């Protein structure tokens, strides 16, 4: 590092930990000389994008010389109607990642505290660290957010508290009863950010959206994404609901034209594709049941999930398992980055992909015995 960067760059950035995304299929093909590779690492929808979204994108390619609607007017109106929330409480971003970063930019001063579960989605810590915030990590209990411990961690310096529900990487939820007790005790000076990226997959009657507490007048932001069940990860578009006042503050730090035209068109269309949504849910449910049965037969422990991925204990060094699966053309996510050195996080795929993963895993574990 040269002296200019060392002495002039903001010191907080040197505390950032790099994000390592799931390996792209084409990269694995190039590196290993493979022709047939499946990716079960990034919780993408194996059915792909909504056919309605694909059609909308195709019909809009002749508009690429225009700037997009900077206010996402039509999409915000549709989201407002779908969720029965006022249109001026809707935020739309370049992925929900951008919304999380905008929240940090809006509210955090150097030294302000942020409370997050551990492990969870790494973007919370990243966005807070960029703003020189102090991250207080609260360990999970039984793979689930420990809300009482998170409450105890709150001080007068706490600005933001993150609740990932269902949680990534464990797939667990905190229940309505647990959240009701938690939100009754949360101090007014704390902004609670609900990240519900996988909520459309949750099938438990105990799941409740953070929108309930927004409607009660609490200071909350409820984030969603089009990257998961809607299958629009490549277009980078997410959205959130909050109070009018918080939305106005966040808009002040938002870049103009932050959401591209194709993303807006695709998201608008995808919201109408209930058939694709239901097919995605059913495929995920069937895949979960198959994988559970296979893991049980193999004697492997796993965390039952409310998302589209499963956190699995292989009983072996996860890096070794990952590399050997890679040689067989199967990409998964290692658990050591989350603090679990024998675990994998595997996305629920198509029936064919799930079967290939199980056969490959059986082969790998036998070779490591």
Instruction: Indicate if 192 and 285 belong to the same structural domain.
Output: no
Please enumerate in sequence order all residues whose Cβ is within 8 A of that of 33, keeping only pairs 6 or more positions apart, or say none: none
Q: How many domains does the chain have?
A: 2
Q: Both 103 and 69 in a single domain?
A: yes
Same domain, 167 and 109: yes
Phi-psi region of 195 (alpha: psi -120 to 50; beta: other; left: phi over 0): beta
Instruction: Indicate the residue among 270, 290, 311 that finishes a domain.
Output: 270
Say how many residues make up the chain: 369
Give the tokens for residue 226.
């089009």
Name the token pair of 134. Answer: 């102090």
pLDDT digits over 88-144, tens only?
Answer: 999 999 999 999 999 999 999 999 999 999 999 999 999 999 999 999 999 999 999
- Domain end: 270, 298, 331, which one? 270
Q: Are residues 297 and 242 part of one domain?
A: no
Same domain, 226 and 294: no
- CATH, residue 240: 3.40.640.10
Judge whether 239 and 266 are in contact, CB under 8 Å. no
For the chain, percent of residues with pLDDT exceeding 90: 91
CATH code of the domain covering residue 299: 3.90.1150.10
Same domain, yes or no: 199 and 296? no
Backbone angles phi, psi at 331, to 5 degrees: -100, 125
Q: What is the tens place of the pLDDT at every residue in 4-61?
A: 887 788 888 888 777 767 778 999 889 889 999 999 999 999 999 999 999 999 999 9
Question: What's the mean per-residue pLDDT of the chain?
Answer: 96
Cis peptide before 119 (omega within 30 of 0): yes
Per-residue model confidence (pLDDT) at position 41: 97
Is the predicted pLDDT of residue 211 greater than 80, yes or no? yes
Same domain, 299 and 344: yes
Q: Are 253 and 319 found together in one domain?
A: no
pLDDT tens, position by position, 292-346: 999 999 999 999 999 999 999 999 999 999 999 999 999 999 999 999 999 999 9
Final residue before a domain boundary, out of 220, 244, 270: 270
- Nearest CA among 263, 214, 283 for reference residue 243: 214
Neighbours of 218 (CB within 10 A): 17
Judged against a pLDDT cut of 80, whether residue 185 lies above it is answered with: yes
DSSP 11: G
341: containing domain: 3-48+275-368
Is 294 in the same domain as 264?
Answer: no
Measured distance between the N- and C-terminal CA atoms of the chain, rounded to whole angstroms: 44
| The two three-digit tokens of residue 225, written as one number | 């994404």
Same domain, 35 and 139: no
CB 331 within 8 A of CB 38: yes
- 75 and 153 inside one domain: yes
| pLDDT tens profile 150-172 | 999 999 999 999 999 999 999 99
**What pLDDT was estimated at residue 20?**
67
| Token representation of residue 264 | 């807006």
Write the pLDDT tens digit of every residue in 336-364: 999 999 999 999 999 999 999 999 999 99
Q: Are residues 157 and 240 in the same domain?
A: yes
Calpha distance 312→343 (Å, rounded): 5
Alpha helices in the chain (DSSP H): 3-8, 25-32, 51-60, 73-83, 95-107, 123-130, 147-152, 176-185, 211-215, 244-251, 261-270, 274-298, 318-327, 351-368
> Any bridge partners for residue 344, and if so which?
312, 334
């Amino acid at each position: 590092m040269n002296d200019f960067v060392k002495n002039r760059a903001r010191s907080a950035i040197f505390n950032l930990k790099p994000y390592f995304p799931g390996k792209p299929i084409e990269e694995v093909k190039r590196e290993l000389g493979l022709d047939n590779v499946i990716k079960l690492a990034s919780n993408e929808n194996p059915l792909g994008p909504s056919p309605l979204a694909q059609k909308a994108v195709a019909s809009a390619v002749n508009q690429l010389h225009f700037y997009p609607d900077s206010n996402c007017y039509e999409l915000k109106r549709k989201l407002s109607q779908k969720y029965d929330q006022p249109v001026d409480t809707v935020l739309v971003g370049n992925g929900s990642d951008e919304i999380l970063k905008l929240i940090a930019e809006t509210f955090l001063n150097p030294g302000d505290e942020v409370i997050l579960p551990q492990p969870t989605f790494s973007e919370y810590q990243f966005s807070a660290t960029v703003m020189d915030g102090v991250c207080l990590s609260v360990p999970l209990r039984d793979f689930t957010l420990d809300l009482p411990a998170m409450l105890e961690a709150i001080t007068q310096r706490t600005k933001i508290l993150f609740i990932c529900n269902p949680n990534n990487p464990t797939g667990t939820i905190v229940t309505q009863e647990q959240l009701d007790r938690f939100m009754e005790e949360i101090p007014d000076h704390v902004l609670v950010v609900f990240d519900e990226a996988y909520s459309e997959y949750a099938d438990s009657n105990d799941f409740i959206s953070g929108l309930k507490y927004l409607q009660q007048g609490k200071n909350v932001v409820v984030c969603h994404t089009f990257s998961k069940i809607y299958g629009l990860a490549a277009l980078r578009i997410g959205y959130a609901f909050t109070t009018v006042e918080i939305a106005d503050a966040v808009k002040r730090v938002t870049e103009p034209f932050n959401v591209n035209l194709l993303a807006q068109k695709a998201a608008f269309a995808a919201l109408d594709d209930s058939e694709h949504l239901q097919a995605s849910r059913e495929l995920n449910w069937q895949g979960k049941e198959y994988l559970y049965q296979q893991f049980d037969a193999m004697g492997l422990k796993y965390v039952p999930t409310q998302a589209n991925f499963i956190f699995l204990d292989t009983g072996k060094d996860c890096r070794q398992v990952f590399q050997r699966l890679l040689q067989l053309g199967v990409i998964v996510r290692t658990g050591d980055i989350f603090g679990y050195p024998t675990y994998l996080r595997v996305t629920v795929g198509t029936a064919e992909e799930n079967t290939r993963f199980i056969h490959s895993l059986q082969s790998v574990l036998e070779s490591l015995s």
